[in-house]
Structure 1
Amino acid sequence: MTGKSLSERIGDLGRRLAVEAHAAWLAARDPRVPILARILAIAVAAYALSPIDLIPDFIPVLGWLDDLIIVPLGLILVRRLIPAPLWTELHAAAEAASERPSSRAGMAFILLLWAGLLYVAYWSVRTSPWH
């Protein structure tokens, strides 16, 4: 028997959901997509890519249920609201983007940007006259 192991299938599912979420993000920014689909695509992509969940992932089983139910259902709704040829185009673009190497320099820049913003927020609170 040459089937994939459970961990390989779960990994494949995670990669497919990431590509679908990226396609939803691309759909949210595409003016050819109907407005209702764009609004839903923003919500689904933001939820799928956000580190904040309704139920935290560290809670066994329940923490993953929202990711396994909410995100796929949202993606199905987005897919149904977008014309098939347009969804195919957006999905192909997301698939191509997933195959490109990620940039460590870009990641470092984003992390430094966030650190800088956090420092500015901290500094503004510390020097505030109400503190």
Structure 2
Amino acid sequence: MTLRLRDTATLRTATEVRARKSDGALMSVDRMMIRTVNGLSQFYRRGLRLSASPDSASGFGMNRTGPIYTNTVQVAVEGGTAPYTYSWMPSSGIFVNSPTSAATSFGGNPPAIAGEIDGSATCTVTDSNGLSQSVTVPINIYRESGA
């Protein structure tokens, strides 16, 4: 297949690329490459790409009772079509403070004396076209034996 583009715009954003098959049906294109004098270069890739910053969460406390909270983690999305929906699912013993937000912190209630919870939370992001992708963040919550 040869794709020829003729456009006077200096920048275009492709949210969905489709090609027509020989039977007339449309199919989604997963990626497109462009050949330059320096070789092949990818310029379009279908789907979502996620990153979490920071890539882990941890919390520390000396209080004997009550929950301990972690730092905030932010999920960044590249690709797809906005708006995006976010859904955080934690492992056992961990709760999510903002389960439908791109940015959240976590909490847990480890045992009273030198307790620890190790787990993770997975954020699934879905774009307006129904494409989805997930990223998992490791979580450590530690309670030091305090006064």
> Which band: TM-score by shorter chain?
under 0.3
Normalized per residue, the structure richer in helix is 1
TM score, norm. by length of structure 1:
0.24
TM score, norm. by length of structure 2:
0.22
- Which of 1 and 2 has higher RCO (CA within 8 Å, sep 6+)? 1
Normalized per residue, the structure richer in strand is 2
Instruction: Look at both structures and tell me which one has the larger radius of gyration over its CA atoms.
Output: 2
